[in-house]
Chain A
Amino acid sequence: MSARSHFQPLAPAREGSPSRGNSASLIAWGVAIAAFLLLWRFGAEALKWTFDYPKSWQIPLARWIGDAMKWLVNQASFGLFTFTDLTRFIASIIDLPYKLALSLLSTGFLSGQGSSAVQILPPLSWIAVIAIVTMMGLHAGGRRLALIVGLCFGFLAVFGQWQSAMVTLASILVAVPLSVVAGLLLGIAAYRWPRFEKALTPVLDLMQTIPVFAYLVPILFLFGFGPTAAVVATLIYAMPPMTRISTLSLHSVPSEIHDLGKMIGCTRRQMTWRVLVPSAKDSLMVGVNQVIMLSLNMVIIASMIGAGGLGFDVLAALRRLDIGAGLESGLAIVALAVALDRLSQAYAERAGAPGTTGIVGGSFVARNPYTLAALAIVLLTGLAGLALPFVQTYPESLRLSTGSFWSNVVAWINVNFFDTFEAIKNAVLLNVLVPFKRFLGGLPWLGVTGLLAFAGYRLGGIRLALVVSILAFLIAATGQWEKATITVYLCGISVMLAMLIGIPIGILAAERERLWSWVRVIIDTLQTLPSFVYLMPAVMLFRVGDFTAMIAVVAYSIVPAIRYTVHGLTKVDPRLIEAGRAMGCTPWQILTKIKLKLALPEIMLGLNQTIMFALSMLVITALVGTRDLGQEVYIALTKADTGRGLVAGLAVAFIAIIADRLISAGAARTKARLGLA
């Protein structure tokens, strides 16, 4: 209580002038909500169309998209060649580096096709691959990193995941550079031509928010079945952050550097490639890192359309309920992710550090010790592998496996604790989930659209109001309203839960270095471990239904909730904390009155990302039988119905964009109010 009294006098003084604005806004909110309540309460009979969007008014968007797709695949032509020829040509180009990577890592170099092919050269041996990545670790970040990377790849060999992991790695090695280059080029274009940026931004929004399943079918039609299509899908999914970060980091290159470039008479091309891109290298590497993580996220989905590799192993293992095998393959994906992530981060730091590049002196050997050592190992193990098979492939007899251990653990929990779980689940379900679902389901679409528009107007002006209400209207007009409410219900509850758990963890971890390093390992795992792996045990313990779906969504979307909270709290100016301490604040007061307040914009950004993560999990939760937009997308995928899938996918994207725009506007206002902008 004393805390409050201590700070009370300050508050009105600081917020003195906006307080009048606040009361006006309160009245406006009151009116808006009252109107909404009236419509909700009494509109059901008189204005039935405001609740159920009439079928006859629906825009047949699904049919239009379907027809357009058919035309594109079967008829579209540029005169000399058809559109499909073009996409197939692109596919065959992408196929070249993929084949090369696959030959190098997995199949060896072959002559001939299919099963009659003959191996001319064996692939890199497991020892060689581990040696190469370890040396990269040594080169980029020293012994610690080399150890981590070596252990990660060692895990792949010891647990018998090598073959699949190399297939996955091959597609990652193709998808990541492609995404990076394409993203960078688009980013530069957006930087140069602001008009292009304006046109590109909504496209990027859609690329990031439409569930991948929605565009898998058109990709299959256009690019053919197999790894290439999977690479294209990965490209679409993983590229947007790179583009955004490129534009952003080019914009933030200091103007002095820009002027310097002008002074020494750079051409436009030189300016871009010799001045701007190198000086933005640091933040560009953050983009590369994002691309790697997102590409690994796609592994499971890519395996559904022919990429094979670890994703396929996970799916197949869980299909026969071999939880241990599923977990091992899933952890192999995590190991790959951790190794690639740490390596790319180390290279980013190296690139940022001065004086590491441009050593000209010394002989060729002295300049390239790592490259030469790697080549030597490749040659040596390759030759030795011809005589000694265990050098070429990790011997089967030395493989480890957890066997049925994990299945037994789940079975034990199931037999002994099921009733407890059941009780908890029922309590949550009956008291929280079901009422919330009913509540949302009973709201009139017109009222919700109006309320969203009003919120948009208050937070960001008439433009935002227009954007938000048009998107909400389109969801209703394409007949997706009901499924959209279920989506909002499931994601809404999960996001609330993720924030409730994530923020306290973030607060605790922000002040304890040790704890944070542990938490980081856990959230990295959560982000890259395919959720399918823990979804099946969850089904065994909680049955098929919304509760299980909610667990999966929370487990995944808690990652940004924690990360951004920590980020926000550690960024708070220490002088302000010092000032608070000097004024005699208790630790609790420092936390609530200073730190959390100042970190609020970051936490809101975290909320934003949590929502995005939750929405991106919809497709996975469809696999445990929800009835939302994710399920609609999934059904459309299996029926190869492009129109239906894209319409549902767009509805998901619209929900994401509405949430994003409103929260960003809110965050910007808070920032302005706190004087941080």
Chain B
Amino acid sequence: MLIELKNIVKNYDNGGVVTKVLRDVNLSVEEGEFVAIMGPSGSGKSTLMHTIGFLDRPTSGTYLFDGENTEGFSDDELARIRNNRIGFVFQSFNLLPRTSVLDNVMLPLMYNNSKANQEHRAKVALEAVGLGERLNFMSNQISGGQKQRVAIARALVCDPKVIFADEPTGNLDSKSGSTVMNILEKLNKEGRTIILVTHDKQVALHANRIVTIRDGEIVSDVLVPESERVHSKEIKDDTDL
């Protein structure tokens, strides 16, 4: 089991007013799964993703990652897990401005213990998302779809076990969105675990399992029959070479 959440509770304390964001969440994800977490805004799906992604600590409960209990891990240990076991893809891309595509992809490697072949590894990651030719473009010189692909390359570069994608198509037109989903599907086929957060059913149907969360509780957890799964094609961006 790659991810095992047991009785996870997350409360936010806003000046004495306690908001219960996650109430007793239990969730297991196996290696190689493609899980979509769905729910309306305010349902706690983002908090859930942040907790699974070690960006946030649960108030109580146990989190086993790759069989290891992560309770009591120091901030530095969590940073290390984020760096080489997890890749993040955000809705708004979050690329460094005034920085080349290559340098953006190399950024996680800078915080990585393995210093060898950084540039080569970044190029391989960029080729995997079809951007091997755009290494020296500045992050503001490329289209939104390409930005998200750079972000996926950045998530891939440390060869993580799992990729978290938080509304990865939220800021994209349907063509670019389709290309991005196609890449995620491909990565999943190659054996990488994908956890996707979305409120869009069509996007969620790319996954093989949909977890629905409402008011901080998991209300459904179903496998998607192969017949209902959506598969996106790679659609060439107008600006692609």
Same assembly: no
Residues of B within 8 A of A (CB): none
Residues of A within 8 A of B (CB): none
